């Protein structure tokens, strides 16, 4: 079977990057339901998109931030203390936001876990168990990419510090409301 009106590759990319308007998104999805060829092409684009998203995990090390910066990635860093509640603007001239969730006593920490949820609904966005953390900085670095605009903008980030012999883990919470330009 061959599609008489195939969806252009750049439109498929825009669809998976969530850059299409509501009407265009609806039209593309309607076409997928009746066209196996375009649905298969969309699946290939989705696989590439998800691979790229996974290439930069949500919690990163300081070394990774510096590698990205050396490659020319425009990074804007913000610093938060436990309990902070602030708006952060993802400005047009930044490729990546890195939130330094600081003020953590990481003495003896075996590992940390990060839970990100929506402030308004409490819905879980993601959990990351055992990501890198920066003991010398007393911080965890969370990377927010521009495609995160698809997630709820009002995030609560909870960092739990797991120290052998301590139960339950110590937890610090940060509320970050993302504004996109």
Note the pLDDT of residue 142.
95
Each domain of the chain, given as residue ranges in start order, spans 9-55, 59-180
Question: Is the pTM higher than 0.75?
Answer: no
Note the pLDDT of residue 53.
56
Residue 116 burial by Cβ neighbours in a 10 Å radius (0-12, 13-18, 19+): buried
Per-residue pLDDT at 1 exceeds 60: no
| CA distances in angstroms from 26 to 11, 18, 20, 96, 177, listed in the order given | 12, 12, 9, 29, 28
Residue 16 burial by Cβ neighbours in a 10 Å radius (0-12, 13-18, 19+): buried
Tokens of 62: 């300081």
| Class of the CATH domain delimited by 59-180 | mainly beta
Note the pLDDT of residue 62.
95
Note the pLDDT of residue 138.
95
Report, as an integer, the average pLDDT of 2-10.
84
Note the pLDDT of residue 50.
64
Note the pLDDT of residue 5.
85
pLDDT in tens, 75-118: 999 999 999 999 999 888 888 999 999 999 998 999 999 999 99
pLDDT in tens, 136-162: 999 999 999 876 777 788 999 999 999
Report, as an integer, the average pLDDT of 153-175.
93
pLDDT in tens, 16-56: 777 788 899 888 888 888 888 888 887 887 776 665 555 67
**C-alpha span between 113 and 140 (Å, rounded):** 10
Name the 3-class secondary structure at 92: coil
Note the pLDDT of residue 132.
93
Q: Is there a contact between 161 and 170 (Cβ–Cβ < 8 Å)?
A: yes
């Amino acid at each position: 079977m061959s599609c008489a009106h195939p969806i252009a590759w750049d439109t498929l990319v825009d669809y998976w990057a969530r850059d299409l308007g509501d009407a265009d998104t609806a039209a593309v999805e309607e076409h997928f339901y009746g066209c196996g060829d375009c649905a298969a092409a969309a699946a290939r684009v989705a696989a590439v998109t998800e691979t790229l998203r996974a290439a930069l995990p949500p919690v990163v090390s300081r070394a990774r931030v510096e590698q990205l910066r050396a490659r020319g990635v425009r990074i804007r860093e913000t610093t938060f203390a436990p309990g902070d509640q602030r708006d952060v603007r993802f400005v047009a001239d930044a490729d990546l936001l890195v939130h330094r969730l600081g003020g953590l006593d990481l003495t003896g920490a075996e590992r940390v876990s990060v839970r990100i949820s929506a402030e308004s609904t409490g819905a879980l966005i993601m959990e990351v168990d055992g990501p890198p953390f920066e003991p010398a900085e007393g911080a965890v670095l969370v990377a927010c990419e521009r495609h995160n605009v698809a997630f709820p903008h009002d995030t609560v980030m909870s960092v739990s510090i797991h120290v052998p012999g301590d139960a339950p883990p110590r937890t610090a919470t940060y509320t970050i409301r993302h504004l996109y330009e």
